[in-house]
Structure 1
Amino acid sequence: MIRGVTATVCLFVILVATPRGTARQQEQPAPPTFTLDAIFDGAAAATSASRPVWSPDGTQLAYVWEEGDSSAIWVLDVESGKARSVFGLGDFSWAERDADPTQISEAGYQWAPDGQALLAQLETDLYLIDVAAGTARRLTETAERESDPRFSPDGTQVAVVRDFDLVLLDLESGTERVLTDDGDGDRIRNGIPDWVYWEELWGREGRGYWWSPEGGSIAYYRFDDSDVGRYPLANQVAPYPDVTWQRYPTAGTKNPTVQVGVLRLAGGATTWLQTGSRSDIYLARVDWAEDGSAVYVQRLNRDQTRLELLQCDPEDGRCKTLITEEQRTWVNLSDDYEILDDGRIVWPSERSGWKQLYLYSPDGALIRQLTRVPGAVASLESADEKSGDIIFTAFGAPPLGAARREVYRTSLEGGEAESLTTADGWNVADVAPGGSGYWIHGWSDANRPGESVVRNADGKVVVELPSKAATIAPEDLPAWELLTIPGPNGSKLPARMIRPPDQKANERYPVIMYHYGGPGSQVVVDRWEDSPRSLWLKLMAQRGYVVFSVDNLGSTFFGKRGEDRLHRRFGEVELAAQRAGVDYLSSLPFVDAKRIGIWGWSGGGFNTLYSLTHAPGVWRAAVAGAPVADLTFYDTIWMERYMDHPADNAEGYRDSSPLTAADKLRDRLLIVHGLADDNVHPNNSVAFVAKLTDAGIPFESAFYPKQKHGFRGPAERHLYERMTDFFERALSPEQRVKSSHP
């Protein structure tokens, strides 16, 4: 189909100098009282530069800055420290990242290869922004939504997914060319993952095609979901509910059939890569060799115990295995790898029980171990062949090591890693490409929002990114304290706690515990969080509650060997940690052990139901949000990774599912679910409620129409109002018990 390019839009360009060491200041009104209003009107949240994207040469940084009710894309020239607004967003809005599997990158825009323009997706269409001129050209104006637009390597074309097919836009002529034509959004998808890949393998990034380095070919996914079961998501707010049918493979059922093909733009033919005779596998990552001579595919068996890096010939499709990673339990898929220009491979492995980085030769032979940090590598930030430097983020050993993050530099030639950060707390890095040496350093701790600055290769601050403090000062909020508590079998568990700010020595206070659980999970962090959930916990502390969280022996703190404790059996390890938390709290003179509540969402909702049904009477009340009630209701990739196939572990699935023990509930429960939840389907909560009803067990429930796995808009505030009311009734601070302790 051929279409023309539409109108040109003029933009107002503003030049702004951001001096080093300063942020934009404006007169602040008197601080409001810390209430739910303050949480949801933004008074308790700081404003900072968001969605940063480096230019290809690493000398410019684009970001979004909000000033009052308006926001714009700004571009910072790092060397001069000057920033300017190049695109006023006005009435445009960004697509929500977790709305569905047809999303572009989190930033919502990207640089052209020459660094002269930005490609932005706003609403459903694409715009090309000339950075120097301050003008934007609208590239598409269609009823259909464009997804995952990407420049060709020479910047003359843009590939995009529309209606589940690949489309090529020529920027000079404005013409379009359809590259695939059988996508239908239900069974067949080209260039875009289906839900289960998007959620469980790609971390909610809709990546489904890859340009070759010279721009003559595109490698892409083709999904066939014909054999995947469908779940009905109904919009109940209608006389006759509208139904959206979602392809969703539950544990033990058939997965999509996935292929990776290489499409040659010159002739339009596709060569399908020969990734193996078994169709029941996962093709988890795709990359091109720098010279275009090979396509690398990471193949994961369905049991997820064997991960192989395949090197495939894009001409004939033949593949060979370079690296094999195996675990008795499961292999954790990672983005922390890099295929270098000379063919060497930086590869992550948990073979020691902790993730470290290793260097392999182009033919897959191990050269050396690159990192030996006391705990584990958290993420690989960059691997630069010219400088020989590797930048990575890591954390220390148990018991509290993983609560913090530190940025390190080491060499491709091996040697001791050098820390680039000195402050305790949570340090992150976003390294510029192109060998410029610049990197964004973000820092915060549990009680201070911190800062984001641009540093050079020597670690010197070049410029501070703009920020604006919250109306309510962080120091005026109740503070977290990190600690360890006695755990099972003599272990020490990481925990954190907020005490009521007006704590009196002769009073006992009720407690709200927040948890998540599951393999590699973590809620105990020394990092500033200003999400509604995190601020609500501080609000409840201010209202007279002790707030407490503890992570279990299968959490990030204890590495891969810790995670493996949960293999084939969920609930027991997590419950043991929460009971240890209750024991610790009960030993404190200011805690009323008879008024302890617990809550969690998603995996935390599951563990809340498991805790109440397997330890009745320990908690006075609980809120379970979007819980998995029956493990066979959840998807193949996530559930089978940890629990194995239901046919091979029927007992584990049965005994781990809270639904099995629903009739053991004895404590007050509020169960919450969004009726449009496409992640943990609402039938989980419905099934649990049905079993409680059959057993004559009282409960409270809140089902929210049109809400997905994460609530938005008025429903989110309503949820926290409902939880506040529930805990106030069940654990009211007005009913504090006098302590016999001085």
Structure 2
Amino acid sequence: MNLRFLGLALLLNAASPVLLPATAPAAYAQQKQNITLEDIWQKGTFSAKSVPGFNWMKDGRYYSSLAKGDLVQHDVTTGLPVQTLVAGADLKLPGQTQALPVDGYSFNADETKILFSTATEPIYRRSSKSYFFVYDRAAKQLVPLSAGEGKQLYATFSPDGKRVAFVRDNNLFVTELATMRETAVTTDGELNKIINGGTDWVYEEEFEFAQGFQWSPDSRQVAFYRFDESAVPEYNMQKWGPLYPQDDRFKYPKAGEKNSTVGISVYDVAGAKTVKMDVGPVADQYIPRILWTQVPNTLSIRRMNRLQNQLEILHADARTGQARVVLTDTDAAYVEVNDDLRYLEGGKQFLFTSEKDGYRHLYLYDMNGKLVRQLTKGNWEIASIEGFNEQKGEVYFTSTEESPLQRHLYRINLKGKGKTRLGEAGNGVDAVNISPDTKYYLNYHSQAGDPTVVSLRDGQTGKLVKVLEDNAALRQKLAGYNLGKLEFMNFKTADGVDLNASIIKPANFDPAKKYPVLMYVYGGPGSQTVKDDAGGGIAFTNYLWHQLLAEQGYIIVSVDNRGTGARGSAFKKSTYANLGKLETQDQAAAARYFATLPYVDKARIGIWGWSFGGYMTALALTKNADVFKMGISVAPVTNWRYYDTVYTERFLKTPQENPGGYDDNSPVQFADQLKGKLLLVHGTGDDNVHFQNSIAFVDAMVRANKDFQTLYYPNRNHGIYGGNTRLHLYRQMTNFVLQNL
């Protein structure tokens, strides 16, 4: 589930919050404009600029992007266009006069050929299908990738640029570019049964990848997934519109139900031979990642048990399929999967991150899984590995070392020495995009309430080379609006739990007055809504909506409860096997704490959230009904039995093993305790958190004779967007807050 994150000792207590700079003195607030919903959701008044379509080119000096149909090369040190690599007018098929309207592209390794995509249509969160075409830059010739019928998925050049692998109709294909001869690697693909080269719904959503194949570094082999989802129960989601609604049936394993049986095979291109890898005798397990090592014919396979508390790294011989376990990572609760496994050149070592000492840190191992050394250590976490300089033996990573609210870039060598923070000192969040040779990196820096600044920086020193986008115009525009101050604070609940929070007060805040409080919550495992970035830990659009409400006289608060991220494994995993219990206790405790502040109207505290936050809202208004006057629950899980296997069982075990963990904190079970005003919102086309969740909650509230309001959006998915949808939704939400809080 993804809508699915200052050391604590340095955070000041509630009596002296950390104030961020105001946009202008409050005395001038009456001269400024108020934000409107149309500004946020229709006019794009506050849209931030970035560096669009940025793709590093092979020498690290240039990047490319699509601009009005042309593929343009830019000098990375200036951001200025240098040349047009391919004119959109040249993208014509032989005999055609109309150029293709391309929407994506990728180069082969030597940048002599380009794959262009067109007519791309999304499938789920990370998957899409397109028509792909191969463009030869020297010959200026464009040809279709495939002569077969139907769109293709995940088209990818081999490292030597001689072939392209892709998926169509659940089968894997390889096209030889010299002859454009297409070979079917698999032929048994079938909708809702067998998937080759792609992933099923739950892997795509929860393990966060959709392409299920990888070329070997020498281009001789393709490793690929095979999913047999025949036994997985189908979910039927109706699509409204025609005289008779259409059924959309897809495989969705709910908690405790059967998963796909997953296998890994390797296809040898020259020999046209497929070898199945030995992933062990247990069918009911996960294979959340595969990755080619730097050793020829050696494939790395990560295997995980169904409860996800044991992760094993296997090394498999691609020629025979034989595999051995080289490393095992275990946890009393669960082990998380990420992309931080890196195999180093020379084939002798690999990097891996683990939470085994209580915080996610970086470790170096030899190829037999023997620990060489722990590279980082401390009461802070690695956020992700960002790059690696093979020549100098240096690892680049972002971490929370300065504060759980911040992210900054660091470099350390393989001896665990020389750790250096790159970039300028200061607060905020840095998201980076490092060139393949680590000579430069793009830094996307933001602070709470302040738009992103995109800069190019030196990969060794972190010094500024050039600001590519400063969003000065947006910053100046925001200064003309009645924006409230954003404060970060740390407080202790009555139970002695230290929690981080953010608070937005009206621009004309008067400490002698009493204000209603609206709390925004997500609260799911490993997440954060309290972070020093542009939106203060949330989407910038939600930050602006919160400012709109502050203009109307509301204080907006967000609190990161137990179970959230960036504060170590113990804090995050304290909610294991009892999802929702401690989280809602903390939110209720936070509401009680804010109710003690002299400027808060304790009888007017509300709460709202989306997805996991919608679940938290529904639970808060039932199990903690005396605390909250109203709530807005958007796209909530209302019973974890309705959600998918991978996410739910990671945090709750299976319902067969832990029925109380599922039922003791289900809003459905406590509908009769509802007291406050509730607005329940859901999209009927939500393939992620099914509309079934809201139906069950509504049914329970009707049985309990409780009053509530509902708002549903036909055929809208979990994000509830498209056309005027967001404008309409937030207008209804705004009205509900104004009328009930």
Bigger mean CA deviation after superposition, 163-172 or 366-375: 163-172
Shift of 1:216: 1.5
Residue 667 in 1 paired to residue 676 in 2?
yes
Q: Quick one: which of 329, 342, 352 aligns to 1:347?
A: 352
Aligned residue in 1 for 2:716: 707
Q: Quick one: which of 722, 731, 734 aligns to 2:732?
A: 722
Distance 2:489 2:70 in 1: 42
Distance 1:171 1:316 in 2: 28
- Conserved? CA contact 1:494–1:551, under 8 Å: yes
Residue 381 in 1 paired to residue 410 in 2?
no
Indicate the SS of the match to 1:403.
Answer: coil
Distance 1:464 1:142 in 2: 46
- Conserved? CA contact 2:638–2:697, under 8 Å: yes
TM-score (norm 1): 0.87
Q: Quick one: which of 164, 167, 171 aligns to 2:173?
A: 167
Residue 110 in 1 paired to residue 111 in 2?
no
Deviations 1:442-474 (A, max 9, x none): 111012113111222222333333465338723
- Conserved? CA contact 2:79–2:468, under 8 Å: no
- Conserved? CA contact 1:486–1:580, under 8 Å: no
Aligned residue in 2 for 1:120: 116
Indicate the SS of the match to 1:566.
Answer: coil
Aligned residue in 2 for 1:417: 419
Residue 514 in 1 paired to residue 540 in 2?
no
Distance 2:168 2:643 in 1: 29
Distance 1:338 1:31 in 2: 52
Distance 1:86 1:297 in 2: 38
Mapping for residues 140-539 of structure 1, pairs under 5 Å:
144-201=150-207, 203=208, 205-343=209-347, 344-396=349-401, 401-421=403-423, 422-433=425-436, 435-456=437-458, 457-466=460-469, 468=471, 469-470=473-474, 473-475=477-479, 476=481, 477-487=483-493, 489-529=495-535, 531-539=540-548
Q: Which amino acid aligns with 1:310?
A: L
Indicate the SS of the match to 2:404.
Answer: helix
Indicate the SS of the match to 1:462.
Answer: strand
Distance 1:89 1:43 in 2: 30
Cα pair distance change 1:136/1:509, threshold 3 Å: farther
Deviations 1:82-101 (A, max 9, x none): 425656889x9xxxxxxxxx
- Conserved? CA contact 1:146–1:162, under 8 Å: yes
Shift of 1:132: 8.9
Q: Quick one: which of 75, 78, 101 aligns to 2:76?
A: 78
Deviations 1:461-494 (A, max 9, x none): 3333346533872333334211112225323211
Q: Which amino acid aligns with 1:620?
A: K
Cα pair distance change 1:711/1:160, threshold 3 Å: same
What is the count of residue pairs matched by the alignment?
Answer: 677
Aligned residue in 1 for 2:37: 36
Shift of 1:555: 1.2
Shift of 1:531: 4.0
- Conserved? CA contact 1:675–1:703, under 8 Å: yes
- Conserved? CA contact 1:125–1:141, under 8 Å: no
TM-score (norm 2): 0.87
Cα pair distance change 1:169/1:431, threshold 3 Å: same
Distance 2:417 2:506 in 1: 47
Residue 697 in 1 paired to residue 706 in 2?
yes
Distance 2:701 2:315 in 1: 53
Indicate the SS of the match to 1:49.
Answer: coil
- Conserved? CA contact 1:86–1:134, under 8 Å: no
Q: Which amino acid aligns with 2:532?
A: D
Bigger mean CA deviation after superposition, 700-709 or 368-377: 368-377
- Conserved? CA contact 1:44–1:471, under 8 Å: no
Shift of 1:563: 1.7
Identity over the aligned pairs, expressed in percent? 34
Aligned residue in 2 for 1:11: none
Q: Which amino acid aligns with 2:75?
A: D
Residue 681 in 1 paired to residue 690 in 2?
yes
Distance 1:87 1:602 in 2: 43
Shift of 1:543: 2.1
Cα pair distance change 1:664/1:270, threshold 3 Å: same
Distance 1:342 1:335 in 2: 20
Cα pair distance change 1:562/1:374, threshold 3 Å: closer
Bigger mean CA deviation after superposition, 506-515 or 456-465: 456-465
Indicate the SS of the match to 1:48.
Answer: coil
Distance 1:482 1:614 in 2: 28
Aligned residue in 2 for 1:45: 47
Distance 1:674 1:146 in 2: 29
Aligned residue in 2 for 1:652: 661
Please, what is the CA RMSD of the aligned residues? 2.4
Q: Which amino acid aligns with 2:266?
A: V
Indicate the SS of the match to 1:648.
Answer: coil
Cα pair distance change 1:48/1:81, threshold 3 Å: closer
Distance 2:692 2:234 in 1: 13
